[in-house]
Structure formats: C-alpha cells, structure tokens
Amino acid sequence: MTSTPPLSTTDGEDRRIRRNVACVNCRNSKVRCKASNVYGQACQRCAKLSISCVVDKSHKRVTRRSKLEQLEQELKSIKQVVESGVPEDTSKRTPTSPLRSSIAAASYLGPVVLDAVPRPPTPSAEPPASLPLPEATRAPSSAKGRASPRSFDNQVVSGEDVEWYFEKFFTLYHPFVPILRLRDPDECYESDATLFWTIIYVACRRFAKDGVFFNALVSHVGKEIWASVPRASLALESIHAILLACTWPLPTNRFLNDPTNTLAGVAVNACLTFGFHMGPGPRSQFLVGPRVQARLTDEEAMSTWALCCVIAQRAATGAGLPAPSIQLSNVPCKKVLDSTKWKDLLFMLDVQMYINKTQANAHAQMLAQGGIASHSVQQWDEEFDSFRPFLPRQDTDLCYFVELASKLEVQAYYFCTPPSSSPNMDAHLATSKAFVTARSLICHALDLEKRAKFMAHGPFWVFRGVLDASCMLLWILHSTLAPDTAAHEADTLAQQGSRAVKLCSIREGDLPHRAAIILETYWSVRHLLPKVEGPPLAWSSRLGAPTTFSALRHFKARIEEAKNNSNGLETRPPPMVESVPGNGLALNHAPNPAIDIFQDIDWSMFASDFDWVYDENFVLST
C-alpha cells in the first residue's frame, strides 16, 4: 500500500512558491514582497496600504530606462538610414558645450519647479525622435538594471526615485562641473555614501518630493560633508562630494558663517596630497599609505584639480578674502583635458588665473597704501580686454557670464582708491563702466534663465555674480552719478536686479532670498532717503567683493534710517511708472493706501546676515 505524503509538505511547498513570487505592486515599487502565511490573503505591504494584491509570474516591470533604450535604438536605426542616403560632413560640425547640451535637454524635460516646496517627482516627457539626448546629459544606467532603494534618518527613497534624481542631476547640474566618474547610483553609494546623498541633495534643490524630506536631507548632507573631511585625502569620491557641496551650498548657510571657503580649502589640500598639482603622471611619491590603492586616470585627476582651483578662487572672492596661494597653472590641465566637454572648465580656469593674479596685486597695494590706485585698475581692465581673445572658448553662454562677472570684479577696484590720493580717472567714467557691465550681466542672466533655467540650476558663483551686479546697479541708480535714464527705466533695472537675485533662491529664508529682500526693500524706500553723493563706496580690505559688502551694509543702514524717518509720515512707495509698448505713453499705478512697506520685513534678518557691526540697540528697538 503506497503511503500518502503528509499534507504539511504540500503546504510548505505552496508557501515556498508563494514566497518566491512577488506581487505586481511590490515588483513595480521594487520592494521586498512578504507573503502572508494564510493562503489567499494579501502580502504585508498590500494589506497595510489596503490595495489589491495580485501575483503574476509573467508580469514584467516596464521602466523609463527600457523605454529610453528602445527609443535610442529607434533613433540609431533612423540615423543609419539617413546616413546611408546623405553622408554627413563632420568637419563642419560645431561641438556642443555642456551648458548648451543642458539647454537642449531642458527644453523637453518639462518646466522647472521654482516653488519653495517642489512637486513630487513625476516621469518627464519623452524626448522627440528628432532630438537625441546629448552625451553630457544621458541618464545613468545601473549595472544591475535598476537602482536599489536607500534610506537615512527614517527617510526612504525608492529605487525609482533614486534613478529619477540621478537623471535630473546629470542632465541639469552636472554639465556645470562634469567631473564625476561614477554615474551608476548603486556603484556611487557603495563607493561613497556621502557623494551619493550629495547628488540627491543637488537634484532635490528644485525637484524634492516634499519639504520635510528636503529639510531632512539638508541636515543629513551637512553632517556627512563635515564627517567626510578626514577621508578627503584618501578617496577621490570624497573630494567630489565636498566640491559639489561647495558648488551648490546648503540653504542653511549665511553670509557670516558660510563654510564654502573652508570646504574649498579642504578640497585643495586633499588634491595636493594626491599630487594633482604636479600634473599628469604616476605621482608615486604622493600615492603612499592608503592612497596606494587609488586608481586614477590623468583626466580624472586634472579635471578635479582644475575645478578645485576655480572653486577656491570663487569662494575666496565671494567671501571677500585674499586670493588663495595655490598653483593656478593651466598647462598640465590643457595637455590632458583636450576634449570639447572640458572647454568651459578650462575657460573658467584661465579667467580665474587672471583674477587670482589681479587680486594678489590689489591686496599688495591695499596693504602698502590703504587702497588701490585707479591707474592700476585701468591697466588691469585693459589687460582683461586684451586677454579675452586668447581664451580657449568664448562662444558659450556660461563663458560669457563668467567673463562679465570677472570684468565687473576688476572694475569694482575703481572705487577702492586710497583716501589720501586723488583719483586719476574721472568718477563719472568709472561709474559708467561698472554700470554698463552690471546691466549687461543682469540682462544676460535673465535671458539665460528664460531659456535654460540658468540661475535655477547654476552654481554658487552665478548667485554671487548676480548679487554683485545688482548691488552695483541699485547703488548707482540712487546716487548723484546715476545715468540719465527715465524713471521707469531705472525702476525696471532695479527690479530686474532684485528679481535675478531671487531667482537663485531655492526656498524661503535662504541666502539669495534674504539678499533679494534687502534689495527690494531698499529700492522701495528710496523716496524717503537722499541720494548718495559720489561713486559707490567700497571696503578695499574685502577683496573680490568690495562694493557688495559695503552696499549691503549701506542698504541695511538706510532701511533703518527710513524706518525711523517714517514715523508719522507717508510710507507708501511712489507710483510705479510702466511704459506701454507701441504708444510711448506711461501708466501710473497708484499703490494701495493701506500698504505699509515696513510691515512684512523680518528685521531680525538684517542683524543676523547684514549687520556687520553688531548694534544691540537696533535689535532691541525692533
């Protein structure tokens, strides 16, 4: 008589089979499916979410990557057919810069979220068949076919969201600093978790799924960046994480405690310990101890070193500190970085070399005679114009912006003349030069923002350049040396300057947002203040940003003065005059009589960010 197998074995096999097959919902979300011990009931996740639980062995999850690969295959087929009929003349093709590639990609990636709390990540529109993805903007592909979900501080990011954030970063942000060698999310996380979360943070600056997640991510990245400082001299990925944190600073930074210059110094010292400053080669005398395991190509080393030099110089300029004492030689870099994708980086390196030399000379004159001679500034200004034709590339939007920002930085030294000497250049001419450059920079930045969300995704030096130009414009427009312009034109320029600064903001209360409030408030109370006599004042000791620091302090003091003078007086701003296109007439928009221009001002902000000389009475009085 044949024995019957026990029922427990059949049940065990059935449970084992069900455990090895994930339901459709868990497959789509790429999470582990924990089957219920009771046959026929939903898994733990579906039961918790109160959704239907369906097990289908034949179900295959369709990802955006598979769609993209299919589209690319179709594009290749179309391209082969076209090339077989009409041969393409590659000798006349102009290489596409990384920034122009990001502009083209941004045109079909949908609108950029500019709200304080961006909307949740949604799949972007598929690119049209006639627009293949540029090489600099291709989405990263995971070696495993999909990214793993990650978590920190009870915050979970699904694998699909990780891929989405990485795609946004490499499409819209990485073209500014194309130095990362790890584009696969899983490989990046396994190599350096700090770099992984820093990439997610940069993408979340405009595309965070919610405000709570972004705030937690900012706090986490801030702690992880400082924890990675001891590791920076041991791993290239740690240096890259610090450089990204410098390029796109945390929104919690303030003028008085901005750590960008400190972190840039850490990155420079880490590169020095690797021997990057020696140029291409084995660098065996530097790769000792734990660094002997480092596997670096000359391109990776030189691109990292070039970006370190650029960020170190820009951070020192933004902080108003002397030029960093580092080797800003571009000869080794140019020997290795001969690809078209490095042209923008080499352009910025060449410009920063000139600014580094100019800033060092200005610092020496300031220490010797308490200021900078105007004839020296005129010579530097003319040298910069003659230096421009020898730069590697000048036909990209990023290069033109950097050129204008650097020229304005040099022209700001016109207002740093020693107090005991008479200026050799007419004040009207110096002011006119700075005004034209600042106006051109603001107009160019707003045009780039309209076409490519330039300020929304730009690095920190974009904000600093826009802030320098806006401070220069507002100071000159409300001075006795203001150009002969109509009232509505001056008002439009001032509003464009403050608007450009605000466009660099990623959330309420960050540095660009607070600076924009200062500019807007000062311009709105100008009718309560007398015009400034003479050219803009400058703090010559704050090299690189002499007029910006003095302007912010001046604006804050004048706002306080206007507030004190407004007691019992009319505090409404003057009517805004707007030109009407076509008929040349103007319309006066009378302000609301119930509006007080001081009622919505956060007065504590002025003391915490812009009150360089702490005034306890002012804080207590407000």
Q: What per-residue confidence (pLDDT) applies to 369?
A: 86
User: What value does the mean pLDDT take over residues 52-60?
Assistant: 75
Confidence of residue 70 (pLDDT cuts 50, 70, 90): low
Q: What is the mean pLDDT of residues 400-404?
A: 93
Whole-number Å distance between alpha carbons of 309 and 300 = 14
Nearest CA-CA partner of 316 in 262, 370, 242: 262
pLDDT at 103 over 50: no
Return the pLDDT at 572: 52
More confident residue, 415 or 128: 415
Output the pLDDT for position 288: 83
The predicted pLDDT at position 273 comes to 92
Confidence band for 146, pLDDT divided at 50, 70 and 90: confident
Tell me which range, 278-287, 521-530, 560-569, is most confidently predicted by mean pLDDT: 521-530
Contacts for 186 with CB less than 8 Å, ≥ 6 apart = 142, 143, 144, 147, 148
pLDDT-derived band of residue 255, with 50, 70 and 90 as boundaries?
confident
pLDDT at 494 over 70: yes
Contact 336, 521 (CB under 8 A): no
Closest CA to 61 of 18, 24, 10: 24
The pLDDT assigned to 472 comes to 95
Measured distance CA(250)–CA(243) in Å, rounded = 12
On the question of pLDDT at 331 being above 70, the answer is yes
576-594 pLDDT, tens digit per residue, is 444 333 333 343 444 444 4
Per-residue pLDDT for 516 more than 90? yes
21 compared with 242, residue with greater pLDDT = 242
Q: What pLDDT score was predicted for residue 20?
A: 61
> pLDDT tens-digit profile of 174-207?
999 999 998 999 999 999 999 999 999 999 999 9
pLDDT confidence bin for 421, thresholds 50/70/90: low
Residues 6+ apart with CB under 8 A from 236: 181, 274, 294, 296, 300, 304
Give the number of other Cβ atoms within 10 Å of residue 485's Cβ.
Answer: 13
> What is the per-residue pLDDT for 74?
66
Q: What is the pLDDT of residues 206-232, one digit of tens each?
A: 999 889 999 999 999 999 999 999 988
- CB distance 376 to 439 below 8 Å: no
pLDDT at 57: 72
**pLDDT of the residue at 484:** 87
Q: How confident is the model at residue 171 (pLDDT cuts 50, 70, 90)?
A: very high
* pLDDT value for 86: 41
Q: How confident is the model at residue 277 (pLDDT cuts 50, 70, 90)?
A: confident
Using the predicted structure, report yes or no on whether residue 72 has a pLDDT greater than 80. Answer: no
- What pLDDT, on the 0 to 100 scale, is given for residue 108? 32
Specify which of 140-149, 239-248, 288-297, 354-363 reaches the highest per-range mean pLDDT.
239-248
Q: Give the whole-number percent of the chain exceeding pLDDT 70.
A: 71
**What element of type H or E holds 10?**
helix 7-19
Nearest to 339 by CA among 90, 96, 89, 92: 96
DSSP per residue over 254-272, as a string?
-GGG--HHHHHHHHHHHHH
Average per-residue pLDDT for the chain: 78
Q: How confident is the model at residue 285 (pLDDT cuts 50, 70, 90)?
A: confident
Q: How far apart are CA 158 and CA 151, in angstroms?
A: 8
* Greater model confidence, 522 or 573: 522
Q: Name the pTM for this structure.
A: 0.71
Higher-pLDDT residue of 603 and 268 is: 268
pLDDT for 274 beyond 60: yes
- Give the residue with greater pLDDT, 153 vs 122: 153
Those residues with Cβ within 8 angstroms of residue 135's Cβ, 6 or more apart along the chain or in another chain: 101, 341
Percent of the chain residues topping a pLDDT of 90: 39
For the stretch 462-490, pLDDT in tens is: 999 999 999 999 999 999 999 888 889 99
Q: Is residue 410 over pLDDT 50?
A: yes
pLDDT of residue 528: 87
Least confident of 422-436, 522-536, 596-610: 596-610
Q: Which two tokens stand for residue 453?
A: 């969300």
544: left (phi over 0), alpha (psi -120 to 50) or beta: left
Distance CA 27, CA 146 (A): 12
Mapped onto helix, strand or coil, the DSSP state of residue 353 is helix
pLDDT at 160: 92
Per-residue CA distances from 176 to 30, 194, 317, 460, 560 (Å): 32, 20, 19, 11, 39
Q: Angle 83-88-94 (CA atoms, 0-180°, nearest 5)?
A: 135
Closest CA to 195 of 255, 138, 159, 247: 247
Give me the DSSP letters along 168-215: HIIIIIGGGS------SHHHHHHH-HHHHHHHHHHHHHHH-S-HHHHH
- Rounded to an integer, the average pLDDT of 448-456 is 92
Question: How far apart are the C-alpha atoms of 244 and 238, rounded to whole Å?
Answer: 10
